[in-house]
Amino acid sequence: MSSLIQKSLKPISTQNYQGLLRRVRQKVLQLPSEFRYRTELLKYASHLPKLSASEHSIVNTLRSEGAYVTSLAALSLPSTAQLLQAACGLFQELEANRVTRRGRHSVYATPEQISHYPELFLAGLDQQLLNIVETYIGVPVAYLGVSCRREVANGREVATRLWHQDLEDRRMIRIIVYLNEVDQEGGPFEYIAKNSIAPVQWLKYHSHRLHKASVDRAVKSVVPRQDWKACVGPAGTVVFADTGSIFHRGRLPVASERKALFFTYTSRQPLNLTYAKQLLSQEQLLTLTQSLGQRQRDCVFWQG
């Protein structure tokens, strides 16, 4: 066992002890919510969507690995052409902001910018995608929207470029769509599979005691590099990932930038409402969803 892990097992100080008590109290307070969630899983099991063989393959791999790589071409979504056209327009806007945002490691589209390209938001409500995500999560899903991000090759290994796990929910899905070719030096999404080695399971249990940078150092210390799985591919590559259950990061881009869309889904009883929230305003959502069916609207307005 590495020295980093051994250090984290040293006697708990008064401050750490109080922190531990807070976490225990939080877990106790979560018990009613956890019971409702488990009950909902059992009740909804017989109502899950019917999937094709290829869709089942995505879900089964998510359950065993935590991630699955495919492509827009393989998924054959009816909205693909509109999605790519809208993404092209939005990223041209982000490109125009290059000078004003100098020094940042990532450039995000604002909610206002995203609302001007409704095809981006609506693509995440495709029935096929909802079927896959709902079957994996196991209950009716909440769609948290889409974020659009350009990762700058500036040498800064910070924020989501550090190894981490997301906090929104027990099970969640991010669907990542690459809009340019992403190779090993282009900042690929990188993860460690659910079924990886024992030290990873230890880290998952103890990561709440460690600072983000410490988690990153611990992962690098205990997980062999051959277990770091980089998702590379041409423009149109799609990654399904349960980012709440696997350690993952956006690898530091070195030779080129990465442009990508991120669609996020949780259950409608997420663990952490601080993170599991819509990016767009209620007014923007009402405008975008006027022509949608009830199932899709329920995924958007899941908080009632």
Question: Distances in Å between the alpha carbon of 68 and those of 33, 151, 190, 294?
Answer: 29, 21, 12, 29
Q: Structural domains in the chain?
A: 48-300 (2.60.120.620)
Residue 75 has a pLDDT of 97
Residue 5 has a pLDDT of 47
Residue 23 has a pLDDT of 57
Residue 207 has a pLDDT of 53
Residue 108 has a pLDDT of 82
Local mean pLDDT, 10-residue blocks, the chain (304 residues): 49 55 58 77 92 97 97 96 96 72 72 94 97 97 94 76 88 97 93 75 55 72 86 98 92 88 95 82 93 96 84
3-state helix/strand/coil string of 65-116: CCEEEEEHHHHCCCCHHHHHHHHHHHHHHHHHCCCCCCCCCEEECCHHHHHC
Rounded distance between C-alpha atoms, residue 139 and residue 133, angstroms: 9
204, amino acid identity: K
pTM of the model: 0.84
